[in-house]
Amino acid sequence: MAHRVAVVGVGQTVRYRTKINASLAGLVREAALEALADAECTWSDIDALILGKAPDMFEGVVMPEIYLAEALGGVGKPVLRVHTAGSVGGSTAIVAATHVASGLFKRVLTVTFEKQSESNAHWALSPSLPFRAHFNSGAGGMFAPILREYIHRNRCPADVGCMVALKDRKHALRNPRAHLQIKDISLQMVKDSPMLWEPIRFLETCPSSDGACALVLCSEDLAERSVRPPAWVHGMAMRSEPGFYPWREEVYPHATRECAKDLYQQAGIQNPRKDFDVAEVYVPFSWFEPLWLENLGFADRGQGWKLTETGATSLDQGGDIPWNCSGGVLSSNPIGASGMIRFAEAALQVRGMAGAHQVDGARKALGHAYGAHNQFFAMWVVAADKP
């Protein structure tokens, strides 16, 4: 039986943005030091180091755990580096939590990061393969057809995506760490922004950010003694499927539904909309919100967009199930860290430490990450109470 795991430290880059003026070591240490301080411990209290990030071509450093060993107190410790594409921030948190759940490690530090301004991110995201015509349309070009299918099947009004963008960008104004802070953001501004890959407009798109996120995870006995409230892990799940196969269901992928099912079973979630107080969900392009609302069981098939329309997912509008109060991926996207930021923000919410974007009385939260062609999923449930 798995040992209980809790989050007792969270650290993030002070402000996600491009061309952060720090070395790679400096970038990750900033987040790690904050997490250690939050957990009231030092490097020598950490039993293992788990790193995660997306392709090394973003920074031009092959297998960076080797170079970062000293910077993150890894000398003399087991060090692992996870890479599961966009979901990596989430899967890294899960691998780290598994270290503690195994009973073999009492306190671990996990750090995810990306410094994609170091290289050409667009190039790194568009590997050239010999058997495909090379359109180099980037991540947006890859996802836009899936989002179009969602809209086509469910006959949604065209502006739901813009409403998501407005909501998340307004949320970002409450989070001083968020990369994009657009003070005078309005629905019209989103609608007027240039179309990039139909149906996705510029302001419905995530930025390319540098940043790092860190967590300190520990065993039950250590969590009970922690100074600040821990966030208890009630469940964690990962699922993958091939990105391309005949007649693959891309809008409602098997892997995401199975992952959620496994997770909800572990955590005793029966009605996500009611059981969760808040969720941090990986939405890099606006229309992913209604899509995930349905896939994650917050709304019935075909009804996700309506939930968004009612303002149910908006903290500013007093919605009953706020999503991405931190501003989400739409506001900050250091790819390797983004998944962990979702998991971290979920933890901050149930610890009551989310500052101006706190949902009052939040006690149970979902953290979600996905990667590549809607094919890799990592999710966890954290709560203020022990499981």
Considering only residues 192-221, where is the footprint of other proteins by CB under 8 A? 194-200
Which CB sits closer to other proteins, 263 or 278?
263
Q: Under the criterion CB under 8 A, does residue 173 sit at the interface with other proteins?
A: no
Count of residues in contact with other proteins, rule CB under 8 A: 91
Q: 238: closest CA among 371, 52, 81?
A: 371
Q: Under the criterion CB under 8 A, does residue 375 sit at the interface with other proteins?
A: yes
Strand 364-371 and strand 278-280: the pairing is parallel
Considering only residues 267-306, where is the footprint of other proteins by CB under 8 A? none
Give the whole-angstrom CA distance, residue 355 versus residue 176.
10
Q: How many CA atoms lie within 13 A of 73 on its CB side?
A: 18
Q: 3: closest CA among 225, 215, 227, 232?
A: 232
Which CB sits closer to other proteins, 258 or 309?
258
Least separation in angstroms between residue 251's CB and other proteins is 9
From candidates 14, 37, 75, 356, binder to other proteins by CB under 8 A:
75
Give the whole-angstrom CA distance, residue 310 versus residue 273.
14
- Within 8 A by CB and 6+ apart from 145, the residues are none
Considering only residues 230-269, where is the footprint of other proteins by CB under 8 A? 237-247, 253-255, 258-259
**Phi-psi domain of 85 (left: phi exceeds 0; alpha: psi -120 through 50; beta: other):** left
Q: Under the criterion CB under 8 A, does residue 165 sit at the interface with other proteins?
A: no
| CA 361 distance to own-chain centroid | 22
Q: Under the criterion CB under 8 A, does residue 101 sit at the interface with other proteins?
A: yes
Give the whole-angstrom CA distance, residue 80 versus residue 72.
12
Stretch that binds other proteins, among 117-125, 208-216, 275-283, 349-357 (CB under 8 A): 117-125
- Draw the binding track, 22-41, toward other proteins (x: CB under 8 A; -: no contact): -xx-----------------
Stretch that binds other proteins, among 78-86, 172-180, 268-276, 311-319 (CB under 8 A): 78-86
Least separation in angstroms between residue 316's CB and other proteins is 30
Least separation in angstroms between residue 326's CB and other proteins is 25
From candidates 62, 158, 184, 360, binder to other proteins by CB under 8 A:
62
Q: 305: closest CA among 140, 142, 150?
A: 150
